[in-house]
């Protein structure tokens, strides 16, 4: 995965397709009740949601996946990690989006 500071050209279309595949994988792992796989997919989606957010359009599946991750963290009593995820969210989006509203 190229970095933003890399001299190579970053193809937003390829990054969007890769992000979409990871998002569908996250939903499939949830559907098949494979929580370790869900954790791996969410970890792999991190750079697409955080590092490439200035290059890629916001995915319609981003906030449902973040909401599912927050529920997973809370159900596993990982309170500190859930706070870290919440701190990484933009407040304006958190107040408007039904999937992560607090």
Q: How many CA atoms lie within 13 A of 75 on its CB side?
A: 7
pTM above 0.85?
no
Q: What is the CATH number of domain 12-96?
A: 1.25.40.990
**Is the Cβ–Cβ distance between 88 and 40 less than 8 Å?**
no
Using one digit for the tens of pLDDT, what is the confidence trace for 4-40?
555 467 889 999 999 999 999 999 999 999 999 999 9
**Is the Cβ–Cβ distance between 63 and 101 less than 8 Å?**
no
Q: Which residue has the tokens 């990871």?
A: 22
For the chain, the domains span 12-96
């Amino acid at each position: 995965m190229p970095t933003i500071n890399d001299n190579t050209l970053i193809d937003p279309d390829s990054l969007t397709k890769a992000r979409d595949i990871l998002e569908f994988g996250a939903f499939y792992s949830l559907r098949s009740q494979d929580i370790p796989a869900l954790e791996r997919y969410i970890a792999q989606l991190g750079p697409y949601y955080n590092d490439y957010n200035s290059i890629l359009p916001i995915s319609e599946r981003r906030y449902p996946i973040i909401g599912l991750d927050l529920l997973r963290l809370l159900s596993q009593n990982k309170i500190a990690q859930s706070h870290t995820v919440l701190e990484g969210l933009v407040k304006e989006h958190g107040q408007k989006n039904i999937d992560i509203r607090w």
